[in-house]
């Protein structure tokens, strides 16, 4: 029935790159959640340029019933089935009193493929699984052979040199808002979602997938996606769930929808950001706007749900993203017996948060005022397993692109908001710009639009990150640092690294650097300038001034820097030799990351000169303390994890603490105790290095002795 293989872990965003022009290839990318998916090579595609009824859903239901599918108990949520696009206009085929709407621009109303091949990426376990079901032969190479395990090519410096063009002038857009308010006052509707369109052209060899990579790096979202059609490409940076259906072991179909209504931009400073968030949470207008859509979604779900099962566990909860704050509510229900995920789509599509209420009249007003087909915008990307599980997004923050005859790409996106009785046209116009800012910035900004360094002298940021030739870290190693990894748009262990830095500063007696929140904001600002993986370094020097031990006249210098990384986890197992250079466990510097780092560098140099990857460093007592560039973990033949204590000359790094916490949570046996060198070479023993960049890295050999290589994860 199916084949299931583990494949080497890699970033799904990079793995998908070779498929970017493969028709019906789909990437569902959620690096901050648990699962991402790659689908390609569908055995069947259900598509219609202009749909007139629900027959396509009936066709999918009939085909699904003929499939052989029995979910393994440990399978990911999606391991094969239907996936693809429902454009906004498909809703016109599902609802009464609506004509076919404006002329389409090449985007089908529906395009759902049946995918027997899926790669599921578990971001928590750092595990990738290839699934292949026996639903027919695609006649193409295996999906696992088509993906890439290497880092993708660098992005072009800019995707377009010309700002996206609105297709409607500001006065006309504000007039359409005023007309909508008039409709509301006349009793036609309570709310309608009105949007404006932005057009653009990609530069030269720039590709839609470049935009996907840049958006995912700059402003990661829970429902990021890339979908390639024969002549079109879709890039979505959506934060909004439409419908989720989870089938419980006893066969109950539980439905969740999470409409977003209410938006404020993120602030430039922490105080401003907090004020904007509080303003949104207390806004009567935004809360009422959200409540209207909650009532609409309750009504839609009640059409196919068990009586009394529709609930609202969360109302107007604040969620914050890279560029905006949102109010998000959660509505749940249980389907009536005999109903399935396709019934929920038919009852609720398109989502009420992007139409308004009542839905049909709101859609009529939208068609009158926008006068263009929305296409993918405000439609949905969806996956459905044959056993009834489903997940789908609302396609906001979504870009639609078309390939021209000269192979250039043109594109457009829309941005809008819910209009209610007290909406102010000028404020609604500004809200569309706030929501569009992430896409516009991703299109317009150079890869590195600002210096890749940020510096503070004392607690004040400086205009230039220059280091004096009399700087004490440069002359004397009088400073400390932390190295952090930027992955999937987020900084791993940010607060923990800042706490470790504070510990190092306390040991060195350095005071007067910026507050933790200032450092946090600066690192996040630095991270936003980078697309892809990067090493971030936070370095503090006592500063320039004084002579020798006299440092009374110095002012601390703090430098934040970034280096893009081309390598991905997991790193290849490494060969290790034992260095002749020892760790001095009696020195307080052995337990911090000092800029007096010469011993570690010399130990690593010994490994390089011996043709090895890394060095093991013993302490003065002759016991293993650490690697030149990371902490040490031994896994005994009995499966017990062992790491030396700090008193052995060990620096308590972030990754070491993370692994120990994970072991504790999993109930796995572990010990923090001194380790003898002979233990490392015991039969069945495994050895690992750990640091913020590697994660957990296996040791293949130690001083020419091959080590066991069976343990894959903590």
CA atoms of 686 and 369, how far apart (whole Å): 67
Helices (H) and strands (E) in the chain, counts: 17, 37
Residue of 89, 117, 129, 240 with catalytic role: 240
Residue listed under structure tokens 């402003």: 219
Among residues 14, 129, 261, 593, the one annotated as catalytic is 261
Beta-strand pair 311-320/453-457 = unpaired
What is the residue whose two structure tokens read 């062992």? 642
Residue with tokens 């992955």: 487
The stretches of 270-313 forming alpha helices (DSSP H) are 270-281, 284-302
Query: Which among 110, 147, 193 has a CA at the least distance from the CA of 19?
Result: 147
Q: How is 106-147 classified by DSSP, letter by letter?
A: S--SEEEEEESEEEEEETTTTEEEEEEESS---SS--HHHHS
Closest residue by Cα to residue 367 from 636, 632, 176, 234:
176
Give the closest residue to 238 by CA, choosing from 255, 257, 260, 254: 260
Regarding beta strands 641-643 and 670-672, do their DSSP bridges make them parallel or antiparallel, or are they unpaired? parallel
Q: Would you call 240 a catalytic residue per the annotation?
A: yes
Residue 448 φ/ψ region, left for φ over 0, alpha for ψ in the -120 to 50 degree band, beta for the rest: beta
Cα 159 to the chain's mean position, in Å? 21
Q: CA dihedral defined by 495, 499, 504, 510, rounded to 10 degrees? A: 100
Cβ contacts of 307 within 8 Å, gap of 6 or more: none
How far is Cα 379 from Cα 401, in angstroms, rounded to an integer? 15
Between strands 241-247 and 398-403, the pairing is unpaired
Q: Which residues contact 200 (CB under 8 A, 6 or more apart)?
A: 160, 162, 163, 164, 165, 410, 411, 412, 443
| Assigned token pair, 556 | 């601390």
- Going by the DSSP 8-state scheme, the letter that residue 452 receives in this structure is S
Cβ density class 628-649: b for 16+ within 10 Å, e for less: bbbbbbbbeeeeebbbbeeebb
Cα separation, 194 vs 420, whole angstroms: 11
Separation CA 216–CA 198 (nearest Å): 20
Question: Is residue 435 flagged as an active site residue?
Answer: no
Scan for tokens 């419908």, then name that residue: 243
Strand-pairing partners, residue 496, are none
Q: Please provide the size of the chain in residues.
A: 714
φ/ψ region of 366 (left if φ > 0, alpha if ψ in -120 to 50, else beta) reads alpha
How far CA 146 is from CA of 2, 141, 210, 572, in Å, comes to 19, 7, 19, 21
Return the half-sphere exposure (C-beta side, CA atoms, 13 A cut-off) of residue 38: 25
- Segment (H or E) for 434: helix 425-444
Q: How far is CA 500 from CA 142, 516, 523, 538, 627, in A?
A: 46, 12, 15, 11, 19
Tokens of 3: 């084949």
Of 455, 490, 485, 464, nearest to 560 by C-alpha is 455
Q: Which residues pair with 705 in a beta bridge?
A: 702
Q: What residue has token string 């090449």?
A: 106
User: Which are the catalytic amino acids?
Assistant: 240, 261
């Amino acid at each position: 029935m199916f084949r299931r293989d583990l494949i080497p872990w890699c970033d799904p965003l990079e793995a998908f790159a070779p498929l970017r022009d493969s028709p019906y290839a789909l990437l569902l990318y959620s690096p901050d959640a648990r699962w991402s998916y790659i689908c390609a090579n569908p055995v069947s595609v259900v598509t219609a340029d202009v749909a007139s009824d629900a027959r396509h859903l009936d066709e999918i239901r009939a085909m699904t019933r003929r499939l052989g599918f029995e979910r393994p108990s440990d399978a990911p949520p999606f391991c094969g089935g239907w996936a693809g696009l429902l454009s906004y206009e498909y809703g016109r085929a599902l609802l009464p009193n609506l004509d076919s709407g404006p002329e389409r621009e090449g985007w089908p109303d529906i395009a759902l493929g049946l995918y027997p091949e899926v790669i599921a990426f578990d971001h928590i376990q750092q595990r990738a699984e290839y699934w292949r079901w026996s639903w027919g032969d695609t006649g193409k190479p295996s999906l696992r052979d088509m993906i890439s395990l290497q880092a993708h090519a660098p992005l072009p410096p800019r995707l377009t040199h010309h700002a996206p063009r609105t297709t409607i002038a500001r006065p006309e857009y504000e007039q359409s808002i005023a007309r909508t308010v008039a409709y509301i006052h006349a009793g036609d509707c309570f709310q309608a979602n009105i949007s404006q369109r932005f057009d653009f052209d990609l530069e030269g060899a720039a590709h839609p997938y470049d935009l996907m990579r840049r958006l995912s790096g700059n402003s990661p979202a829970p429902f990021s996606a890339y979908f390639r059609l024969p002549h079109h490409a879709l890039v979505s940076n959506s934060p909004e769930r439409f419908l989720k259906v989870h089938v419980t072991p006893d066969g109950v179909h539980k439905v969740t929808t999470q409409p977003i209504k209410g938006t404020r931009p993120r602030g430039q400073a922490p105080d401003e950001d907090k004020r904007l968030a509080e303003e949104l949470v207390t806004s009567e207008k935004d809360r009422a706007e959200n409540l209207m859509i909650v009532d609409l979604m309750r009504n839609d779900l009640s059409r196919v749900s068990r009586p009394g099962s529709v609930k609202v566990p969360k109302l107007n909860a604040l969620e914050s993203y890279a560029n905006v704050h949102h109010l998000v509510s959660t509505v749940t229900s249980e389907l009536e017996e005999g109903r399935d995920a396709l019934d929920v789509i038919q009852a609720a599509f398109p989502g009420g948060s992007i139409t308004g209420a009542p839905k049909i009249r709101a859609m009529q007003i939208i068609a009158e005022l926008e006068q263009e087909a929305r296409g993918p915008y405000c439609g949905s990307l969806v996956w459905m397993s044959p056993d009834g599980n489903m997940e789908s997004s609302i396609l906001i923050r979504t870009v639609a692109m078309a390939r021209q005859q000269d192979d250039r790409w043109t594109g457009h996106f829309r941005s809008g908001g819910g209009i209610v009785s007290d909406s102010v046209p000028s404020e609604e116009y500004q809200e569309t710009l706030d929501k569009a800012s992430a896409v516009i910035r991703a299109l317009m900004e150079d890869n590195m639009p600002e210096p890749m360094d940020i510096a503070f002298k004392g607690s004040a940021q400086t205009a230039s990150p220059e280091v004096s030739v009399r700087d004490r870290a440069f002359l004397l190693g009088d400073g400390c640092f932390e190295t952090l990894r930027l992955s999937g748009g987020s900084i791993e262990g940010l607060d923990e690294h800042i706490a470790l830095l504070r510990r190092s500063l306390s040991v060195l007696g350095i005071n007067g650097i910026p507050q933790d929140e200032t450092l946090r904001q600066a690192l996040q600002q630095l991270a936003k300038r980078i697309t892809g993986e990067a090493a971030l370094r936070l370095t503090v020097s006592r500063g320039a001034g004084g002579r020798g031990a006299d440092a009374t006249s110095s002012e601390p210098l703090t430098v934040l820097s970034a280096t893009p990384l081309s390598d991905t986890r997991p790193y290849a197992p490494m060969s290790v030799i034992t260095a002749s250079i020892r760790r001095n466990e009696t020195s307080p510097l052995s337990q911090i990351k000092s800029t007096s780092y010469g011993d570690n560098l010399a130990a690593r140099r010994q490994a390089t000169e011996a043709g090895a990857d890394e060095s093991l460093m013993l302490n003065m007592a002759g016991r293993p303390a650490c690697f030149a560039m990371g902490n040490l973990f031994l896994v005994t033949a009995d499966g017990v994890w062992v790491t030396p204590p700090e008193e052995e000359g060990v620096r308590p790094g972030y990754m070491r603490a993370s692994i120990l916490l994970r072991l504790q949570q999993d109930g796995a046996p572990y010990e923090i105790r001194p380790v003898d060198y002979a233990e490392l070479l015991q039969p069945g023993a495994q050895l690992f290095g750990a640091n913020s960049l590697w994660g957990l890295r296996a040791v293949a050999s130690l001083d020419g002795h091959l080590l066991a290589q069976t343990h894959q994860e903590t």
